[in-house]
Structure 1
């Protein structure tokens, strides 16, 4: 048996914009299916919203997203709740998305693109446990942890 876990993000009208942004950051193929594509009449409010969307890249990056139907909440994400206080991370969020790469340069390039319009929680820099680490909340309200895999000596 083979199992994979993929983050599935829930938006209120911003799923397409978020997926397009993530594709611009991580590359890969973008797939978007709207409620209208599945038969919802075009004049209905949710017709253009995403019922199924994903970005899949050859390097293993994958994320899924959709727009919660019938939501009338503003499409602007809430203010980030994650922050650093006295050297610790304090948050009310139930999860972060983690991206780990092999080199400071490759992860740093992702950081630079993902940081566009983001709130930086912790700047991308060397850390005690990794060659580089950073945390930010992107323009869509999703908090990302980016780091470089630490080298471990064989046992």
Structure 2
């Protein structure tokens, strides 16, 4: 039986390419972008260059997908979902935190939590909600 993947898929309004380029600068990896025109999908002429599908595959196995929401559809930035990054690589996770929160808004600083891990919550500059948990680590 082939593996099943569960990947975050973020909806943007006209700035998916900018957001995914930012995430590529944070996580590294290869970014593939297909526009509505590339995909042969029906679209408004002004939306031809908007992102129909983008996929970032980072070297450490992270996969992030995104698209621009067509103007004919409702768009709710941020929605009710947070993307969680967790593990024990303190340097990598702290680096992700610094980049994601740097131009965004920190809801809870990345610091030692009551359960012993370091934990923080933020929204990046695109309004996407992130949670970072570093197992048993202590950050300054």
Q: TM-score, normalised by structure 2?
A: 0.85
1:59 paired residue number: 60
Which structure has more helix as a fraction of its residues?
2
Q: Note the residue ranges of structure 1 that are not aligned, 5 or more in a row.
A: 81-92
Residue 111 (structure 2) pairs with residue 120 (structure 1): no
Which of residues 134, 137, 140 in structure 2 aligns to 1:148? 134
1:70 paired residue number: 71
Match runs of 1:71-150 below 5 Å: 71=72, 93-150=79-136
Q: TM-score, normalised by structure 1?
A: 0.77
SS at match of 2:117: strand
Report which of the two structures shows the higher radius of gyration computed on alpha carbons. 1
**Partners of 2:100 and 2:123 within 8 A in 1:** no
SS at match of 2:102: coil
Quote the Cα distance in structure 1 between the aligned partners of 2:38 and 2:136. Answer: 45
Quote the Cα distance in structure 2 between the aligned partners of 1:108 and 1:71. Answer: 39
Between the two proteins, the alignment pairs up a number of residues equal to 136
> C-alpha root-mean-square deviation of aligned residues, in Å?
2.5
- Residue 115 of structure 1: how far off its partner (Å): 1.4
**Partners of 1:27 and 1:57 within 8 A in 2:** yes
